[in-house]
Amino acid sequence: MGQGSRVSYFYDQEVGNYTYGYDHCMKPFRIRMAHDIIASYGLDKKMTVLQPPRATAHEMTQFHTDEYIEYLRRVTPEVAEIMPSYNECFLPLLDCPPFDGVYEFCTISAGGSMAGARRINHGEADVVINWAGGLHHAKKGEASGFCYVNDIVLAILELLRYHQRIVYLDIDVHHGDGVEEAFYTTDRVMSVSFHQFGNFFPGTGDVKDVGVERGKYYAVNVPLREGIDDETYEFIFRRVMRDVMETFRPSAVVMQCGTDSLSGDRLGCFNLSMQGHAACV
């Protein structure tokens, strides 16, 4: 992020009201905590802070199936309890519970990323941040890995209206499978994922997975072993991304910065510091 960049930051204070459940690893209130830290350091004064519009069902079905979005709109814990077989078609209950307000939560996340893409398209910002976004595992017709609606795919589809080539860069400890799958057959989006691999969710992202049809060689996977440190990660990252940017020459970059890559995370097993993780941004 260069000096003088026009940065837009999307935040909806209601996002912290939702809960996946007491024992669940995903805690939306941490989005509110992050915002409070940003504000306490005065960083919000250096950005244009915006309330994200709520994504509509029609907007979300630009990627997701009508049936799935309608299910999310109607589902509640009570509905899921009396319709277990129907529920299994859309939600893996352990990772993606049908919590109260799940649909509204998705509209906030997706709305921020899509609105951010539009600001890039219209030249209103150079950098856009959506702290409630990055839900990279969601598939076209089902939830996966804590992710219900794939805001990243929706944002990229919006960017493709104005940009010929887009790089999707994922430094979450988990493979960005939902986004890669969505663009696996196109040469307009190059997906690049640095992730832990080998008996680790979601089990995809082998170095041999490179895309198919027109998208062949436009998926780049960098599977890594647990315990990787800052120095090794940066060595690999810089060389891969230098070649990606010089060869593909995108006009827009979408980045997922999952902090489960940090040392001490409950799920991830990397040994990255905050400085090492941030160096990739």
Which residue's entry shows tokens 């277990």? 84
Per the annotation, the verdict on 35 as an active-site residue is no
β pairing state of 48-50 and 127-130: unpaired
Structure-block tokens of residue 164: 């010929």
Classify residue 274 by its DSSP letter.
H
Q: State the catalytic residue, choosing from 35, 64, 136, 137.
A: 137
Structure-block tokens of residue 270: 């990397």
Cβ-contact 212, 185 below 8 angstroms: yes
> Measured at the alpha carbon of residue 203, what is the angle toward residues 148 and 240, in degrees to the nearest 5?
95
Helices 102-121 + 66-74 axis angle, to 10: 130
Residue 241 neighbours by CB distance under 10 Å: 18
Active site (catalytic) residues: 137
